[in-house]
Amino acid sequence: MLFFKRRKTADKRRQYRVEATETPDLTLSLLEPDGQLMPMAIVDVSAGGLAIQVVEKASDRLKQGATVELVFSLRGEPAPVEAKARVMSLKERPGLGLVAGMEFLDLEEFFGKIRRGMWKIFNRRKSFRVRPLLDESPGCTTTKKGQPYALNLHDVSLGGLCLRSSPEEAEWLHSLESISFQLLMPGEVSPIKVSGIRRHSWQRDDVVFSGYQFESDDEDLLEPIMDYVMKRQRDTASRT
């Protein structure tokens, strides 16, 4: 049986950029050494970093390779969020002048601090996946021959999930055009019912991993998954 090798898509997912015009309520400041905040203009943001316009008074701070402290604020959220970032590139862009491409230094810490509104902006690609804890794993089932069938969940994100199975079980899973999942998230009473389409699969020893993309992007339906992913990110950040 032939399985597709997993492509290294994590970096591509993180580079899904959201233009500043799409997020007018998100503002950014550069934290000065004396504690003062210097307002900056956002060009775009992604799950891995952002691009900003370099104003003359900040040019000495925003050199190639420099590490700076940024402060994000979002209208409607109670507190700003700080993040350390490194200047990865400096390029002239038509109509914008000098633009600094920046990379977050600690994604787990950053995503562990932000609230739902900001999380949706930076995770627009729905790329962040978390692995379930052994003692707090979401239940994942489908139906086989009219009966509930338990599946082994490897990781989950707001956009999909990955299953872990034997080659024999994977052969049956891969024969299905789509799979109707029932996900019971920790602390929830009712399962989420959502279908998924397989996008890739790969095999490691005797274990097959199959990645599925949810066919629904209904935020109300998927809200328990978002809450779970955010909680796992906060828990991970608090331990680092």
Task: Report the CATH number that the domain containing residue 93 is assigned in CATH.
Answer: 2.40.10.220
Burial (0-12, 13-18, 19+ Cβ within 10 Å), 162: buried
Per-residue pLDDT at 228: 87
Contact 45, 70 (CB under 8 A): no
Among 65, 96, 122, which residue terminates a domain? 122
CA angle (157 as vertex; 153, 160 as ends), nearest 5: 75
pLDDT the model gives residue 14: 45
Q: Are residues 146 and 219 in the same domain?
A: yes
- The answer to the question of residue 64 being in a domain is yes
Residues lower than pLDDT 70 in the chain: 1-16, 124-127, 134, 236-240
Based on the domain organization, do 114 and 151 belong to the same domain? Answer: no
Q: What is the pLDDT of residue 69?
A: 96
Residues 6+ apart with CB under 8 A from 207: 164, 165, 166
- Do 90 and 148 lie in one domain? The reply is no
Say if residue 166 is in the same domain as residue 231: yes
216, part of any domain: yes
158 and 202 fall within a common domain: yes
Note the pLDDT tens digit of each residue in 152-186.
999 998 889 999 999 999 999 999 999 999 999 98
* pLDDT of amino acid 103: 94
Residue with tokens 């991993």: 209
Total domains present in the chain: 2
Does a structural domain hold residue 3?
A: no
The verdict on 72 and 152 lying in the same domain is no
117 & 154 share domain? no
Residues 116, 195: one domain?
Answer: no
Q: Is residue 131 in a domain?
A: no
Residue 163 lies in a domain: yes
163 and 216 co-located in one domain: yes
Q: Based on the fold, state whether residues 207 and 110 are members of the same structural domain.
A: no
Give the residue numbers spanning the domain of 195: 139-239
pLDDT at 158: 84
Same domain, 117 and 163: no
φ/ψ (deg, to 5) at 8: -80, 85
For residue 47, being part of any structural domain is answered with yes
Residue 115 lies in a domain: yes
The answer to pTM > 0.95 is no
Instruction: Examine the domain organization and report whether 162 and 69 are in the same domain.
Output: no
195 assigned to some structural domain: yes
